Amino acid sequence: MDGGWRRVAPLFVMVLAVVALAAPQTLAQTPAPADGSFDAAAATEAYMARQTAEQKSRSDAYFVGGYWLQLWGFLFGAAVAWLLLGTRLSARMRDVAARITRFPTLQSALYWVQYLVITSVIGFPLTVYQGFVREKQYGFATQTFGGWMGDQAKALLVGAILGGLALMALYAVFRRAPRTWWLWGTGVAMVFLVVSIAIAPVFIEPLFNTYTSLEDPAVREPILRLARANSIPAADVFVVDASKQTTRISANVAGMLGTERIALNDNLLNRSSLAEIEAVMAHEMGHYVLNHVWKMILQFGLLLAVGFAFVRWSFGKAVARWGGRWGVSGIADPAGLPLLVLLFSVFFFVATPVVNTIIRPQAGRVPQDVARPSRGGHLLRPPLRTQPHLHGDAMEGGEPACPRPGVRGPGSGVRKPCACDWWNVAVAREQSGQPEVGAGAVR
């Protein structure tokens, strides 16, 4: 995970679909089959064939570099955890918290603040390179270093608050359930995950960007009609000023339990046609209609339970062997947090294929399912997903959603065309003269 170890505690998910406008004069002519079907893989390959060797090399470098950064981030985090434990700095941080207050719950929160600040400072050079320097090199970041630092400071504050609350709850469980803490801990983590997803659109995201109502009825009304046709409880469409931070184009249907919100960023609004905006929004609504967030919460809950079971087994063995040297007495000791984070990091690093198996089918299933009749008899549009800076490859959340065919990452095989390649569908349909699926639902 990028952004340093402070990202472990704030359990919230922001789903982004990143798209961009492809210039009509450069689009490949992809004739529509006589039977009315559409071959997305063929359209993708036609687009890829037009890219220069320099464009492909640049895109490959970004993708593969991102994979390597995941590996180096894991190794760096492991080294930081070992440093905190081996030097007994973690034990001294716990002692500082104990001197400030005699209440164990508050001690957990005070320890977390120290841990967050120290690990953020140690990891600052890697964070700067990954989040600012590298993004500037590839033409994504638009912020000055001062603006970027301001957002980092806000993220640190959010991490301190949410992480402190999470750690207080988790360590209360550790103290009260010494045998079954891993089961109760899974439950606490899931509750924080759901709450974080619910409050993110209302309380967290506005800290970093300004959300305003979309004023143009020519764009707003088709989006709202599509939302109503698919039972999405949204009365407005919001525009986020993401251009102050990035050149990326994105949109999302975020929130749950009454906080649902439809939003698109100003890059999408200013650089894409109405048909492209509708295609992007249809893809994001497809995630909501198909209940992907709830499905992923359930799947990650099961994975978390396995992770907690692994940590229960390995934490006890590690403390039995090195706990005296580290000054860590057991799972309920806040000084053991670096070990807890390290073990979870090992588990999720090894479980990366499982995580990808959970995430990627959800992203890929939308393009296949939304073209079928949905609620109310309407049809969602096919998605359009491009990123012109890197020859059109789909990007999500600042990292590649899926690389172009043939790109390898550490330990990966050659990728076959995946469902993310469907970003080319809407463009090719328009060029070939084939009507868009479900156009009547939003016109």
For the residues of 239-269, what is the DSSP string, one character each?
EE-GGGTBS--EEEEE--TT--EEEEEHHHH
Report whether 63 contacts 393 (CB < 8 A).
yes
In DSSP terms, which residues pair with 262 in a beta bridge? 237, 253
The one-character DSSP state at 153 is H
Q: Which residue has the tokens 């549009």?
A: 381
In DSSP terms, which residues pair with 261 in a beta bridge? 254
Q: Is the pLDDT of residue 373 over 70?
A: no
Q: How confident is the model at residue 37 (pLDDT cuts 50, 70, 90)?
A: low
Average of per-residue pLDDT values in the chain: 77
Q: Which residue has the tokens 């270093």?
A: 145
263 vs 37, which has greater pLDDT?
Answer: 263
Q: What is the dihedral of CA 136, 138, 139, 142, to 10 degrees?
A: -30
Q: How confident is the model at residue 432 (pLDDT cuts 50, 70, 90)?
A: very low
pLDDT at 372: 39
Query: What distance lies between CA 326 and its chain's CA centroid?
Result: 34
Q: How confident is the model at residue 159 (pLDDT cuts 50, 70, 90)?
A: very high
Average pLDDT score over residue span 23-34: 37
Query: What distance lies between CA 61 and its chain's CA centroid?
Result: 21
Average pLDDT score over residue span 13-20: 27
In DSSP terms, which residues pair with 107 in a beta bridge? none
The one-character DSSP state at 51 is S
- Amino acid identity, position 212: T
Q: Which residue has the tokens 């090992």?
A: 346
Calpha distance 376→387 (Å, rounded): 33
Average pLDDT score over residue span 356-377: 56
Q: Which residue has the tokens 């390995």?
A: 314
Q: How confident is the model at residue 42 (pLDDT cuts 50, 70, 90)?
A: confident
Q: Is the pLDDT of residue 273 over 70?
A: yes
Q: How confident is the model at residue 276 (pLDDT cuts 50, 70, 90)?
A: confident
5 vs 36, which has greater pLDDT?
Answer: 36
- Amino acid identity, position 408: R
365 vs 247, which has greater pLDDT?
Answer: 247
pLDDT at 401: 37
Strand 250-254 relative to strand 261-265, pairing: antiparallel
Angle between helices 352-369 and 292-326 (to 10 degrees): 170
Calpha distance 175→72 (Å, rounded): 34
pLDDT at 419: 35
Q: Is the pLDDT of residue 265 over 50?
A: yes
Strand 261-265 relative to strand 237-240, pairing: parallel
Calpha distance 20→35 (Å, rounded): 29
Which CA distances in Å does 271 have to 9, 22, 149, 161?
A: 35, 9, 27, 37
pLDDT at 360: 75
pLDDT at 38: 59
Domains of the chain: which residue ranges? 5-21+58-404+412-436
Q: Is the pLDDT of residue 380 over 80?
A: no
High-pLDDT (> 70) share of the chain, %:
72
Calpha distance 248→281 (Å, rounded): 15
pLDDT digits (tens, 9 = 90+) for 189-226: 999 988 888 888 888 999 999 999 999 999 999 999 98
In DSSP terms, which residues pair with 128 in a beta bridge? none
Query: What distance lies between CA 397 and its chain's CA centroid?
Result: 5
Alpha helices (H) along 50-103:
53-86, 89-100
Average pLDDT score over residue span 90-106: 96
Alpha helices (H) along 351-417:
352-369
Greatest pairwise CA separation for the chain in angstroms: 77
